[in-house]
A = this chain, B = another copy of it.
Amino acid sequence: MTLVMDRPEIAPQPATEDEKTTGGLVIFAWSGELDKIWPTLILANTAAALGKPVTVFFTFWGLFPLVKNDRGITGDGWMQKMLSFMNRGGLKNMKLSKMNFMGMGPSMMKTLAKRYSVSSPQDLLDTAKEMGVKLIPCQMTMDLMGLTKDDLIDGLEEPAGAATALAVAEGATTLFI
Instruction: From known contacts A3-B45, A99-B83, infer whether A163 and B50 are also in contact, taking CB-CB under 8 Å.
Output: yes
Q: Which A residues have a C-beta under 8 Å from some C-beta of B?
A: 1-7, 12-14, 23, 25, 28, 30, 35-36, 38-39, 42-43, 45-47, 49-52, 59-61, 79-80, 82-83, 86-87, 98-99, 108-109, 111-113, 116-119, 123-124, 127, 140, 143-145, 161-163, 165-167, 169-170, 172-177
Q: Is the CB of A118 within 8 A of B144?
A: yes
In the complex, chain B residues whose CB is within 8 Å of the CB of A30: 36, 39, 177
Q: Is the CB of B79 within 8 A of A108?
A: yes
Q: Is the CB of A144 within 8 A of B99?
A: no
**Bound form: Cα–Cα A88–B111 in Å:** 21
